[in-house]
Amino acid sequence: MSKNKRGVFPRKIKGFRDINPELNQLRTKIITKAAEVYRKYGYEHWDTPSIEYADNLGKYMPDKDTIEEGVYSFRNPENEPVYSNKGEELRDNDNSVIMENHYLSMRYDLTAPLARLYSEKVWQSYMQGNLTEKNIPLFRRYQFGRVFRYEAKLDPGRFREFWQIDFDTVGTNDVSADAEACMILSDAMEAIGLKRNTYIVNVNDRKILKGFLKSIGIFKLKIEDDSKILQGEDLEQAILRIIDKVDKIDLKGVLEELGKGRTDTSGAKIQGLNLPDSIIPKINSYLSAFENIKTRAEIIEKLTAFNIKDVIFNEGLEELKKIDLLLKNIGYQDDRIMFTPTLVRGMAYYTGPVFEVNSLQTYKDHKGRKRAVGAICGGGRYDGLVKNLLGIKAPATGASIGVDRLAELLMLTNQNDDLEDGPVFIVMFDDNLMPEYQKIAAELRNAGIETEVYYGSQKQLKKQMKYADKKNCPIALLIGENEFKDGIVTVKNLKLGKDKSMQAIQDRNEWQSKIQKEIKRENLIQYISKIIK
C-alpha cells in the first residue's frame, strides 16, 4: 500500500463540537429560562430555516460586504428563476425566464432571517400600496437555534456552530422598547442563574457618538490610510473601531492608535489613524470624562455638560434620558443597567440605543492566569435591516444571548448547577431474570420514573456501578436469584451516598445501612417514587 494513500479517520471540523449531556443540560436550562422571561413580556416563539437565500441575508454579516467573508455559502443545486425587486421573473431577449443556481447561506445569526420573515409576511400588502412607514405593523417574536459563522480566530467560548436565543420587536420607533430590552436582558441573566453584581447591562446610543464626532469636525476630514482616502462614514467607523478597543488597550492605547500608532506588548508596531493633533485631545476629553462614574444620572449630567449643539447628539441624549426614566420608575437600578458612552457595537448595523451584557467575573485559564470573561450577549436598535428587503423603513430593536458563550461562562466560573438526575438503574445480575428486570422497568416508567436496564458486556458489579455513576443515576436496583425468590429488591440510594454528611460516616456498616435497603417487591414503586419526588 502506498504511504501517501488518502485515508479516512474520525475527526471533527475545526470550530465544531460534540455536545455531552452536561453541556446539553446547561444549554437547555439557559434556553428554557430565557424563553420564560421573553414570554412574560409577550413575545411569541417563531422559527426560521437554517439556510436562506444569500441575498435575503442583506449585507451578510455586519461590516462584511461579500458572501465569502464569515459565512458558509454554496450554490443551490436547483436551478431557479431570477426575480426583480418587485418579485417578477426576469426574462432574456427571447422572453425565456432567466434561471440560476442561487447562492444559499447557512444563517449566521437569527436577526437577518427575522428581517426576511417580517418582509415576506407584509410583502403583498406593500406591493398593493397598502403599507407605508406610517402604518408598519408591530411584530414581536423570540427564537432560538443553531447559527454558523466562519470565525477565523477561535478564542475560548467562540465556535463556528453555536446557539443563540433572540427576542426582537419590529415596527416601533418608541425608545420604550429599547428600555424594555435592557430589562429583559437583566431579568434573563438572573433567571438563568447569574447573581446580582456579577453582571452589568451596559447601554449607549449610537447617535451620541455619531453626533459627538460630527461636532468636532470628523465628517469634514480626509485621512489617507494604506493608500486609501478615509472620509465621512468610513472615517467614522475607523475611529469607532479604535474606540471600541478601550477595554483591551486602555485610553492611552486608543489615543496612540488614533494618532501616530503604538507598539503592543509583543513589540509589534500598530499603525495609527493619523488624525490631526487638534482632534485627538477632543476625543480624549470625551472618553476620559466618564471614568469612575457610577450612576446613569451622572452620565446624563456629563453628556449634557458638553453642551454639544448637534441634532443627532441631542436625539441620542434624549433617548437615554427616557430610558433612564423608565428604568428608574420600575426599579432597575445602576447595579443592573448602566450607561456607557464609550460602548460601540455593529457600526454599520445599529442606528440608536445599543446594549451589551458584561460579566464582572473572572476565571483562571489552564496556565493559572486570571482572565476576564467580558461580553456575553447584546443587541440594539437596527432601523435599516428590513428596508434592505422591503424598500421601506421598519424600525426594530432586540437582543441576542449567545447560549454557548454563556454556558462557557457558567462552567469557567463554576456556576453550572449539579447535573440533573439520570434514570433509575437496574443492575444486570442474571440473564434469566431479564423478564423481571423489564417488568420492573415498565412499572417504573408507567409511574413517570425514567428507568434504564443495563445491557452492556461488562457485567462486573463495579463496572456497572461506574456506568451508573457516570450517568448520575440516583438509585440502583439490585436483584439476584435470592432476592427474586424472596420477593425483595435491594435499593441503593446513590444520590444519598454522595452526600457530604454521609461521606463523614467512618463505619462502613452504618454507611451501608443508610444508603441500601431491602424493599418488598410489591412496595417498590411507592418507595422509589417517594425518594425520587
> What would the pLDDT profile of 32-61 be if each residue is shown by its tens digit?
999 999 999 999 999 999 999 998 886 555
491 found inside a domain: yes
Domain with 455, as residue range(s), is: 424-532
> How many whole angstroms from its chain centre is CA 398?
13
Please say if the pLDDT value at position 506 is more than 70. no
d(CA 414, CA 406): 12
With beta carbons less than 8 A apart as the criterion, state whether 30 and 24 touch.
no
- Assess if residue 77 is contained within a domain: no
Length of the chain: 533
Mean pLDDT of the 457-474 span: 92
- pLDDT (mean) for 416-441: 90
Angle (nearest 5°) at CA 394 between 390 and 398: 120
Cβ proximity of 405 and 157 under 8 Å:
yes
Percent of residues in the chain assigned helix, strand, coil, to nearest 5: 40, 20, 40
Say what the pLDDT of residue 504 is: 65
Return the closest-CA partner of residue 416 out of 22, 97, 135.
22
List, for residues 393-423, the tens digit of each pLDDT value: 899 999 999 998 898 888 888 777 667 889 9
Positions of E strands within 149-198: 161-170
Query: Would residue 452 be called left, alpha or beta, if left means φ above 0 and alpha means ψ between -120 and 50 degrees?
Result: beta
The pLDDT value given to residue 285: 93
Q: Is 512 part of a structural domain of the chain?
A: yes
Return the DSSP state at 135: S
Q: Which residues contact 523 (CB under 8 A, 6 or more apart)?
A: none
Which residue type does 33 have?
Answer: K
- In-domain check, residue 233: no
Residue 62 has pLDDT above 70, yes or no: no
Kindly state whether residue 445 falls inside one of the protein's structural domains: yes
* 3-state SS class at 242: helix
8 Å CB contact between 410 and 29 = no
pLDDT given for residue 468 in this prediction: 93
CA 423 to chain CA mean position, Å: 30
| Domain total in the chain | 1
Tracing cell 405593523 back to the chain, one arrives at 137
Tens digits of per-residue pLDDT, 101-126? 999 999 999 999 999 999 999 998 98
Q: What is the mean pLDDT of residues 174-193?
A: 96
Contact present, 146 and 19 (Cβ < 8 Å):
no
Per-residue confidence (pLDDT) for residue 2, from 0 to 100: 63
275 vs 4, residue with greater confidence: 275
Mean pLDDT of the chain: 89
| SS3 at position 108 | coil
Predicted pLDDT of residue 27: 93
- Residue spans of beta strands (DSSP E) within 130-244: 139-148, 161-170, 199-205, 222-225, 228-231
Spatial distance between the Cα atoms of 87 and 82, rounded to a whole number of angstroms: 9
How far is residue 259's CA from residue 55's CA, in Å, rounded to a whole number?
Answer: 38
Rounded percentage of the chain residues whose pLDDT exceeds 90? 63
Whole-model pTM: value is 0.87
User: Which region holds residue 215: left if phi is over 0, alpha if psi is between -120 and 50, else beta?
Assistant: alpha
Closest to 456 in 3D by CA, of 445, 464, 448: 464
Band of residue 183 on the pLDDT scale cut at 50, 70, 90: very high
Specify the CATH number for the domain of residue 451.
3.40.50.800
Residue 525 within any structural domain of the chain: yes
Asked if residue 182 has pLDDT above 80, the reply is yes
Report pLDDT for 501: 59
pLDDT of residue 510: 72
358 vs 68 pLDDT, higher one: 358
CA distance 236 to 214: 9
Nearest alpha carbon to residue 286 among 270, 308, 271: 308
- Confidence band of 66 (pLDDT split at 50, 70, 90): low
> In 3D, which of 28, 4, 9 has the Cα closest to residue 420?
28
C-alpha span between 121 and 231 (Å, rounded): 38
Q: Which distant-in-sequence residues (6+ apart) come within 8 Å of 335 by Cβ?
A: 196, 197, 200
Instruction: State the alpha helices, DSSP H only, in 471-523.
Output: 481-486, 494-497, 500-503, 508-515
Instruction: Please check whether residue 477 lies inside any domain of the structure.
Output: yes
Please name the helix (run of DSSP H) or strand (run of DSSP E) that holds residue 492, with its range, or none: strand 488-493
Residue 342 lies in a domain: no
In this predicted structure, the answer to whether residue 528 has a pLDDT above a threshold of 90 is yes
Cell 466618564, residue located? 290
Sign, CA torsion 53/59/65/71: negative
Q: Concatenate the DSSP letters of all residues of 256-313 into one string.
A: HHHTTEEE-TTSPEEEP----TTTHHHHHHHHHTTTT---HHHHHHHHHHT----HHH
Q: Which of 162, 121, 161, 163 is nearest to 141 (CA)?
A: 121
Residue 401 CA to its chain's centroid (Å): 3
421 vs 215: CA distance, rounded Å: 60
- Reply yes or no on whether the pLDDT at 150 is more than 80: yes
Phi-psi region of 147 (alpha: psi -120 to 50; beta: other; left: phi over 0): beta
pLDDT at residue 156 is higher than 70? no
